[in-house]
Structure 1
Amino acid sequence: MHQAATSTAQLCFGKVAHSRLRPAANAFTYGVYFLRLPLRTLGADDFGPRLFSRNRFNFLSFHDRDHGDGQQALLPWIDHLLRSEGITDATGEIWLQTFPRVFGYVFNPVSFWFCHRADGALRAILCEVSNTFGEKHCYLLDSGAAMTLGEEITARKVFHVSPFCATSGTYRFRFVHKGAHTIARIDHDDASGPLLLTSIAGTATALNNRSVLRGFFSYPLMTFGVIVRIHWQALKLFFKRVPFYSKPAPPTKKLSR
């Protein structure tokens, strides 16, 4: 898998899909838009569109403190994390895929850092997962070499996300980028097999005033809708009598692989 041919900020339009298989079936799909940002190319620069800002309030915005440790600049943080995990060849572009803030608000269930080598090959992926309790955990996906398009990588689930899923089992990650189209799949298996099937897919467009307005008016208050939908689906699972799991203490380490 290679990085995009053009290193310009993108706004992607697509959908989130989620399907629970048992003990009670529950599925939903809704439209979203999300960012793909080439962090090395951007550096500390602001964005061009007047309707989209970096670290400032706007219709849509991106705030560096929403990612990483919330204190360091993004590039030094991710470079240090990769080196500390023995990944020294991810010196190419780093694409961050995440939701923007809408009128200053965002909740990102998961953001992806696609870390490339200098030759453009994908070297590692950092999955930055947040829950509604204000906690965050990162899963580092590293096959030890360049990753292959569509390759499935697994990680042991250690972080509490939903009260209707135990903090156990295995995640299966798959990522595909073909031209302007991108899809990320995260499936959760427990001891009995596949339990949750989730994906976020989209088609990239240039980040400009036109695409910002398209996103803003096509999906009004989208990031507020993300958190509302999470609680609405939880209520549906409650009435379907899906077992409830109390929240455990968060992992002592903020990173697993």
Structure 2
Amino acid sequence: MTAPALYRTTIRHRRQAPVHHEFEFRSYSWYVDVDELPKLPWWLRPFARFEAVDHFNDGPADSLRQRVGACLAAHDVDLGGGTVTAALQPRVLGYVFNPLSLYWCHDTTGELRCVIAEVHNTYGDRHAYVIPAQQNRSVMIPKEMYVSPFNGVDGHYRISAPLPGAVLDVVVSLHREGHPPFVATVHGERRQFTPRQVLVLQLVAPLAPLMGTLAIRFHGILLWLRGLTVVPRRHGGEIDVEGAKPR
């Protein structure tokens, strides 16, 4: 599907143990070609700024494509100049938070070579998982970054992230030995990119990145009040109490 476009999304989290807890909130994602980021009228630019420094830990600060390329090069992937499209959140009124950004990486023949799942946590950490293309099947990858304060860095993610079409449909589940899976889903319907549609989304989902941060933190507090134990976050490469591997 051509980019840019917008997806009006519903994001759901479901935890089954040691307490059952579910929540959902509405938001939206942009679907963009990283080589041709959307150009908005001046009066809408504060509501959608795409900054390279908001993604990945390495690479030049002036180009998101260069940062994607640096990530792929670190994993010995060469697209030869092929297309990269992404589903992500831009800055809105100067604030950005992308719990999950997805990049579909194609070579010059149009073949999907891999998908990058870039995860951000509420502590400001980032980690990019490079997932081989598996013909729209889910893929299992080891967890490598502390995200929830109630989980260590043990376990595996199962990720299903088919290329968006009329819908964006992403499922991420965390599997840990002795625990039922924690499941997060993102589902959204495609909308045409127009200045009017961008404005409508600011009205129906105002300050979407900030609202996403607040929702996650609010429900984290609820879980803590319900007795969930916080797993200490490691610092300086030290191993946390769950035996997580240092970064």
Q: TM-score, normalised by structure 1?
A: 0.84
Q: Which amino acid aligns with 2:151?
A: C
Offset at residue 239 of structure 1 (A): 1.4
Q: Which amino acid aligns with 1:190?
A: R
User: Which residue among 233, 253, 257 is the counterpart of 2:219?
Assistant: 233
Distance in 2 between the 1:183 and 1:242 partners? Answer: 30
Distance in 1 between the 2:147 and 2:215 partners? Answer: 15
Sort the Cα spacing of 1:80 and 1:167 in 2 relative to 1 into closer, same or farther, 3 A.
closer
1:188-228 Cα distance to aligned partner (Å, 9 max, x none): 01102433100112122222211111110001222211111
2:11 aligns to what?
16
2:241 aligns to what?
none
Q: Does 1:101 align with 2:87?
A: no
User: Which residue among 150, 163, 169 is the counterpart of 1:164?
Assistant: 150
Q: Structure 1: 5+ residue runs without aligned partners? A: 253-257
Distance in 2 between the 1:251 and 1:176 partners? Answer: 34
1:201 aligns to what?
187
Q: Does 1:131 align with 2:121?
A: yes
Q: Structure 2: 5+ residue runs without aligned partners? A: 239-247
Q: Does 1:76 align with 2:66?
A: yes
1:33 aligns to what?
28
- State percent identity of aligned pairs: 25
Q: Which amino acid aligns with 2:47?
A: F
1:126-185 Cα distance to aligned partner (Å, 9 max, x none): 11111122111111112xxx5302x11111112111111121111000013463211111
Sort the Cα spacing of 1:100 and 1:74 in 2 relative to 1 into closer, same or farther, 3 A.
closer
Sort the Cα spacing of 1:200 and 1:250 in 2 relative to 1 into closer, same or farther, 3 A.
farther
Which range is displaced more, 31-40 or 177-186?
Answer: 177-186
Figure out how many residues of one structure are paired with residues of the other and give that number. Answer: 236
User: Which residue among 50, 53, 60 is the counterpart of 2:48?
Assistant: 60
Sort the Cα spacing of 1:182 and 1:212 in 2 relative to 1 into closer, same or farther, 3 A.
same
Distance in 2 between the 1:188 and 1:230 partners? Answer: 17
Runs of 4+ more than 4 Å apart? none
What are the equivalent positions in structure 2 for 1:39-54 lying under 5 Å apart?
Answer: 39-40=34-35, 42=36, 47-53=39-45
Offset at residue 66 of structure 1 (A): 0.8
Offset at residue 51 of structure 1 (A): 4.3
Q: What is the RMSD of the two structures over their aligned residues, measured on CA atoms?
A: 2.1
Which range is displaced more, 71-80 or 227-236?
Answer: 71-80
2:103 aligns to what?
113
Asked if the contact 2:52/2:67 (under 8 Å) is kept, the reply is: no
Sort the Cα spacing of 1:208 and 1:251 in 2 relative to 1 into closer, same or farther, 3 A.
farther
1:255 aligns to what?
none
Q: Which amino acid aligns with 1:74?
A: L
Distance in 2 between the 1:166 and 1:231 partners? Answer: 17
Offset at residue 235 of structure 1 (A): 0.9
1:246 aligns to what?
232
